[in-house]
Amino acid sequence: MDDQLMDVLGDRRWLVLTGAGVSTDSGIPDYRGPGSPVRTPMTYQEFVREPEARQRYWARAHVGWSRMRTAEPNATHLLLADLAREGRLSGLITQNVDGLHTRAGHPDVIDLHGRIDRVICLDCGRTSPRAELHERLSRLNPGYEQRIGEIAPDGDVVLDDTADFRVAPCLACGGRLKPDVVFFGENVPKDRVARCFALVEEAESLVVLGSSLHVMSGLRFVRAAHKRGIPIVIVNRGTTRGDDLATLKLDAGCAETLTAAVSVS
């Protein structure tokens, strides 16, 4: 397996695209990995339109954040940070919102879908730390974060009844707060997409780790790399939408594959 990967990549620098499968070893479940339950995430339109949806989201997210904020970078995050410092990567784009690549010490990450540790006001645009909002929500809802539920991929927890949860408004304008992440049905900011395409245009190879490439926001970069004719390696448990574009597809875990590849390179 490691020989296959290095035969394809040779001494080329890697542009890396990571998905939820990279963070499962840190205790954060993914959406579409083998055995994952069917999940229906909240859409941007629902969140913006319905006060009850925002109440449900923030109740679940408040409980989930109590756990997600303690997640630690795993071997894959640490290995990629080491490779970046050694100059062996040309860039890293992540579809994850957990911030674990940055916490691992990676010097330059493009958080394609934003960061769950930041909050933005939909009405005035003010951004603020998630920790600040968490403290406010804890004061408004004493003891709420102790509730029990299954943790979901975006860091929230499945709760049946959230009608008693009190939502905090923006401190600047009293408006609607949202995590600074791209919801389903929302577009990735154009300047962020442009930065990613610029990396693909300069890349010597593309390595996709732990992503099913189910959503177009990641798949389009694989298509662009394929159009350029550069080597594409996909490491993911289960099929992906980019399998037919890959030079090499490995149905395997990210950490063991990377560790083996680095040890022989």
HEC string of 112-155? CCEEEEEEEECCCCCEEEHHHHHHHHHHHCCCHHHCCCCECCCC
Q: Is 196 annotated as a binding residue?
A: no
Q: Residue 152: pLDDT above 80? A: no
Catalytic-residue membership of 101: no
List the one residue out of 230, 245, 195 whose CA is nearest residue 12. Answer: 230
**Is 174 annotated as a binding-site member?**
no
Annotated binding residue at 44? no
- How confident is the model over 41-64, as a mean pLDDT? 93
Mean pLDDT of all residues belonging to the chain: 91
pLDDT in tens, 209-236: 999 999 999 999 999 999 999 999 999 9
For the chain, where are the alpha helices, taking DSSP H only? 2-9, 44-49, 51-68, 75-85, 100-103, 130-140, 190-202, 216-228, 254-264
Alpha-carbon distance 93 to 19, whole Å?
A: 9
Per-residue pLDDT at 211: 96
Q: Is 239 exposed, middle or buried (0-12, 13-18, 19+ CB in 10 A)?
A: middle
Catalytically annotated residue among 77, 113, 214, 226: 113
Confidence of residue 150 (pLDDT cuts 50, 70, 90): confident
Above 70 in pLDDT, residue 2? no
Do residues 257 and 5 make contact, with C-beta atoms less than 8 angstroms apart? yes
Q: How many CB atoms lie within 10 A of CB 133?
A: 21
Are 208 and 183 in contact, with CB atoms under 8 Å apart? no
What does pTM read for this prediction?
A: 0.91
pLDDT at 147: 84
Per-domain residue ranges of the chain: 2-264
Task: Tell whether residue 33 is among the known ligand binding residues.
Answer: yes
28 is in an annotated binding site: yes
Q: Which of the residue ranges 3-7, 52-56, 105-109, 118-122 would you say has the lowest mean pLDDT?
A: 3-7
Question: Which of 169, 60, 151, 155 has its CA nearest to residue 116?
Answer: 155
Q: Which fold has domain 2-264?
A: Rossmann fold (3.40.50)
Which of 51, 3, 7, 20 is CA-nearest to residue 211? 20
Cα 22 to Cα 7, 52, 74, 99, 236, distances in angstroms: 23, 33, 8, 12, 9
Percentage of residues in the chain having pLDDT higher than 90: 76
